[in-house]
Amino acid sequence: MALLLRNALDLYYYLNDEASDPRVKDFLLMSNPFPTIAILTVYLYFILKWGPNYMKDRKPFNLDTLMIVYNVIQIIACCLLLRQGWMYAYGKGYSLFCEPVDYSPSPDAIEVARGCHAYYLLKIADLLDTVFFVLRKKDNQVSFLHLYHHTGMVVLTWTATKFLPGGHSIFTGFINSIIHIVMYAYYLVTAFSPKYKNNVWWKKYITQMQIIQFFMIGTHWAALLFQESCGYPKWPVAIMIPQNFFMLALFGDFYRKAYILKKPKVESAQENGLTKLSNTSNGTNGIYQNGVHRNGFVSNGINGSINNNGTNGSLINGLTKRGKTNGVSITTDTSNLLQRHLATSQQFENI
């Protein structure tokens, strides 16, 4: 047992002190893995146990102002990372198919390493997404997919910054920052007003973009397998390809359940500018947006049948109402009714 512990300690010191990049040793939270482990432990404990217990008998917190500030900061941070990646990497000839890590102390190489470190810190900040879900009692959004993704990204970005700060791996952060700009822009819009949450037309396309992102990242890492002399180690491929295609499967399953299999709760139909919100099987007691018809049904806004407390009748072309009340036939000129109806229809068009 003592020998196993000794070998484990030797392996730890070798990986942490010798195999790692010495340039990042003094970066925040990079001297050893224990601060990151502590952050993730507290995060998972809060999300899975302490947070839900604390909020159990409390009302959801109103965090709208805080979330607006948070989303703006996220968007700015992602834009700065894109600028960093372009100025010091892709804008200076970084290859998309094979790029070794530059471990030199040159200014460009140091800036790339700092960009990788900043991306890692941003993944820690992303953990606040889940904290906000708990404090707002949005427990349905705290899914396995969400927790796995956020926890895994912190672990992967710390590892990349510690051992491979630059080179082939920065494509992952570059493309992910683009996706996050769009995603946090959506969150920013919905934070201003909840009414936008289900009305922003590009909501489902964000998930599509995330799915495409994981496919692109997985393919990008797979390209290393076809490079005989790249200079970038191949062992990360064994981690990144399964990881990204697993995420691809999880996000694909979420998209299928959320946007393909999910049926709309409210059946709607557009008929000459009127939206039907509900209707009984016999066509009565229908409720319409911008108007209510009691005990009746209106089709096309002009021609329809009216059933009111036992009085049967029909409005034909808006001109003549023919009906029967208590067995007596009635034919009545309805020109005034037509004028009123046309005026009402004009109001609907102006709304």
pLDDT of residue 70: 97
pLDDT of residue 280: 39
What string of H, E and C letters represents the secondary structure of 71-112?
Answer: HHHHHHHHHHHHHHHHHHCHHHCCCCCCCCCCCCCCHHHHHH
Q: How many H-runs (helices) and E-runs (strands) does the chain carry?
A: 11, 9
pLDDT of residue 295: 40
Tokens of 53: 């217990």
pLDDT of residue 12: 96
Q: What angle, rounded to 10 degrees, do the helices at 107-125 and 170-192 form?
A: 40
Judge contact between 273 and 301, C-beta under 8 A.
Answer: yes
pLDDT of residue 9: 95
Q: Which residues of the chain have pLDDT under 50?
A: 266-338, 340-351
Encode 233-265: b = buried (16+ Cβ within 10 Å), e = exposed.
Answer: eeebbeebbebbbebbebbeebbeeeeeeeeee
- Can you give the residue ranges of every domain in the chain? 12-260, 269-350
Encode 202-224: b = buried (16+ Cβ within 10 Å), e = exposed.
Answer: ebeebbeebbebbbebbebbebb
Task: List C-alpha distances in Å: 250 to 69, 148, 238, 260.
Answer: 30, 10, 19, 15
pLDDT of residue 204: 86
Active-site annotation holder among 146, 149, 293, 341: 149
DSSP state of 330: E
Determine the 3-state secondary structure of 311 from DSSP: strand
Told to judge if 149 belongs to the known catalytic residues of this protein, a careful annotator would answer yes
Long-range CB contacts (within 8 A, 24+) of 21-27: 21/101, 21/103, 21/113, 21/162, 21/163, 21/164, 21/165, 23/103, 23/105, 23/110, 23/113, 23/165, 24/113, 24/116, 24/117, 24/161, 24/162, 24/165, 27/114, 27/117, 27/161
Cβ atoms within 10 Å, residue 279: 15
